[in-house]
Structure 1
Amino acid sequence: MDLQTVDQCIQAGRDALLFGSAAKDFIPEWVKEKFKGKFKQLQVEKNIENTLTLAKGKMGDRKQDSHTSFKVIEEVLEACSDEDRTELQELWAALLARIATGEGRSITKEIISIVKSFEPIDALVLKTCDVVGRTQFNAHSLYQHIVTNVPSGSQYHLGDITASCRRLFQSECFDYVQKGIDPTQRFTADRPLQLAYQGANILRVVGDIG
């Protein structure tokens, strides 16, 4: 294989990463291995570019605050650099927009860590509890709302929502309504839950900028 062909393979890889092309399926394995660092860099650049574009959209006409903490922005960008799923890029973009406009002082390393652990369904479930009711809900009521009101809701099963509620409980975004429940008990779809402090905090910082 001559250098021109290798260059074409690399360009195909770049196209695949930057434009979602299926061209990457045709790149020889040895080329992928040799240039995987470059491909990784291109993917990171694409992820960050997409997230920053979303953030600018959320900022609207609001100007960047002169006291913006670039240290926190750097921490968020580092955390979201591997994220290529739009649902989660939206969350990261909301955090960045809030930081840039001077409203992100309550965005802590703990919040960044929790958001980084999210699956797309976790973001959906967290936002849904804000609609269904923060003070009492369960996986079943969230599931009913999602399959009825979310365009893509039919792809989810009750077990998916229950598993997401369990993860959000473990990250202290949700809590049991009834206190004193043995945490080793089986987590069920009808267990009454409420929004906990971290969940409320995340909803606030990823919400619309005032």
Structure 2
Amino acid sequence: MTRPRWSADAKRSLAAGTLACAVVVATEVFGKFNDSAMAWEKVVAIVGVLLFLATSVVAVRSLGNLVVRRTQDRIGVSHAGMVRLAISIVGYLFGAVIALGMLHVGLGQLLVGGALTGVVLGIACQQALGNLFAGLVLLISRPFTIGEAIIVHSGALGGPHEGVVLEMGLVYVVVETDTGLVRLPNSAVLSAGVGPRPVAVEEP
């Protein structure tokens, strides 16, 4: 009998997480990355960091897949995807901080580097990040739900758009209108006026 796929993800996440912890301990014992360290100690530290990052990625991705499979039937695919995204962001940030600590990067250098990286990424991905955070706000505030008939009033979207909400994703809200599917950016939907679609009154 075939076991559920989530069981394999759970085992993979646990094994990778355990290996990552063992790598951190071994690197701290045998490796060094400072001015007084010998060449072989620096090599051990670098190899340990790379191995830790690889195992951390496997652990975080497996944990995210496990959570999606266990929750998507109860909270929906879109919400489960948001949970996986949150797990990935927290897990990768946590792993990056530990990796920098293994290389003995100072807190001041870390803060300065993180601030500069954040500014560059914010400028380069402004629109994508805007849609992402707008999607999170829409899922939390829930001005409408999947399956609800709505009308979106927004000149920027060439509206109004009337239809049934099919999906609330990370970037777009998918609405089925009388003319077909329309993908509306989350940031535009958040700033638009949204209400229930008027019910057509039959003529006597």
**TM-score class normalised by the smaller sequence:** under 0.3
Please tell me whether Structure 1 or Structure 2 has the larger radius of gyration of its CA atoms: 2
Q: Does 1 or 2 have the higher relative contact order (CA < 8 Å, sep 6+)? A: 1
Q: Which has the higher strand share?
A: 2
